Amino acid sequence: MSSTTKETGTTTKPTARTTTTTATAGESLLTTTANARPQEKDAPVLAIVVPCLNEELVVGDTARRLCEVLHKLSAAGKVDAASFVYFVDDGSRDATWAVVEELHARDARVKGLKLARNVGTQNALLAGLLGVKEHADCVVTIDADLQQDEAVIETFLEKYAAGAHIVYGVRRGRGDSYVKKATSGFFYNLMRLMGARIIKHHSEYRLVSRKAIDAIAEYREYNLFLRGIFVDIGYKSEVVPFTVRRRGAGKSKHDFRKLASLALDGITSFSIVPLRLVTVAGMLVFLFSVLMTLFYLYHKIKGHTPPGWAGTIIPIYFLGGVQIMFLGIVGEYIGKIYQETKARPRYIKDTELF
Ligand code: UDP
Ligand code: MG
């Protein structure tokens, strides 16, 4: 599959170096250093993309910690000094964007993109990936609450240096609540059962190369399910375990409804198993009703009184229920087709800080 994908971007050097020199000068978020030491010649430019929805309580701390990581990595010669953090404000209603602007003014390594409205984590991540594509060699996506251990980025980079185009962070136990664990475990198993191709215990914490982003740019679907798309590309990938922390401040935006919708999108974007189940179940129900008819006919011919209303009413309800349920599943897919044929933009950019 990789042979069909565009081979752009792996040799050209990113333009971020020139951008950062023109960015607002100011004190660094780190008191220790304003300018990183000269890095090794071919260290990659790393962009860290962070989707944010109403995260005013955490973005400041997150920016500081991620800049610290970048600083350490560039001092060790593992990433280029032009590496940066890119916050994607997914239509926040609080002061998230104002905080990002302030952080950008203080430290040019903090950059950001404000989307015109909330488009959901998947599309916000896509906006981030496509937004930094021309400026970075590789991109790590991480949550604004830093529930994922940012220290693992170093291991991601090692795998990238060794030739991996996609490095999946996989959870090793989690500090989330019992309900959260149970719901995400349920949806995860459901998706696997229905044939969606996803990596076990992986969410959106991963490193991808520019070549991999070029590849996903070719997927024009409206309902983009990133976890599945990256597996679908087929480039060399690696898996790195990490431990999950509890959210520091603010609350989770992924409630049951969002998780359910994500699971449904994951299933219906990657598999037609539910449609097949409908066909098979439809056949079984049909067969069952034929047998029932024969059974009643036999009794009629024999002169036995057929059973009362239950024999008529129950199948009607049964078939009615089954039909409505299956129509719903078919409708899910028709809904998908409807959205895809409209080919609307998946996100709208408002302001960009670069
Ligand atoms: N998020 C987003 N848009 C949304 C919902 C969430 O950009 O519509 C971001 C959120 O700000 C966070 C990340 O996605 O950075 C993960 O969300 P959260 O921590 O609330 O979910 P959980 O960790 O509980 O799954
Ligand atoms: Mg979280």
CB of 271 sitting under 6 A from ligand 1: no
For ligand 1, whether the C-beta of 128 sits within 6 Å is no
The rounded Å distance from CA 276 to ligand 1 centre is 33
HEC per residue, 72-100: HHHHCCCCCCCCEEEEEECCCCCCHHHHH
Q: Which atom of ligand 1 is nearest to the CA of 251?
A: 20
pTM score = 0.80
**Hey, which of 90, 118, 143 would you mutate to test ligand 1's pocket, going by the most ligand atoms within 8 Å of its Cβ?**
143
Nearest alpha carbon, ligand 1 atom 24:
252
127 lines ligand 1 (CB under 6 A): no
Residue 22 tokens read as 């023109």
Protein residue with its CA nearest to atom 13 in ligand 1: 143
Q: pLDDT tens, position by position, for the chain (354 residues)?
A: 333 333 333 444 444 433 333 344 344 676 544 444 444 458 999 999 999 999 999 999 999 999 999 999 999 999 999 999 999 999 999 999 999 999 999 999 999 999 999 999 999 999 999 999 999 999 999 999 999 999 999 999 999 999 999 999 999 876 677 887 788 788 888 888 887 788 888 989 999 999 999 999 999 888 888 988 999 899 999 999 999 888 888 888 888 888 888 888 888 887 878 887 888 888 888 888 888 778 777 877 887 766 665 677 777 778 877 888 888 888 888 888 888 887 888 888 889 998
Strand runs labelled E in 191-348: 202-209, 237-242
Cα 122 to ligand 1 centroid, rounded to whole Å? 10
> Which residues sit opposite 139 in a β-bridge?
47, 208
Protein residues within 5 Å, CB atom, of ion ligand 2:
143, 145, 147
253 lines ligand 1 (CB under 6 A): yes
Q: How far away, in angstroms, is 168 Cα from ligand 2 center?
A: 17
Burial of 68 (0-12, 13-18, 19+ CB in 10 A): middle
CA 254 to ligand 1 centroid distance, Å:
6
For residue 147, the CA-to-ligand 2 centroid distance in Å is 6
Task: Please tell me if the CB atom of residue 122 comes closer than 6 angstroms to any atom of ligand 1.
Answer: no
Question: Is any atom of ligand 1 closer than 6 Å to the C-beta of 53?
Answer: yes
Sign of CA dihedral 342, 272, 126, 229: negative
Residue 142, ligand 1, Cβ within 6 A: no
Cα(254)–Cα(247) distance, integer angstroms: 12
**Which ligand 1 atom is nearest residue 144's CA?**
15
The whole-angstrom distance between residue 156's C-alpha and the CA centroid of its chain comes to 18
Q: Is 144 in the pocket of ligand 1 (CB under 6 A)?
A: yes
| 19 ligand 1 Cβ < 6 A | no
Is the C-alpha dihedral spanning 205, 210, 211, 214 positive or negative? positive
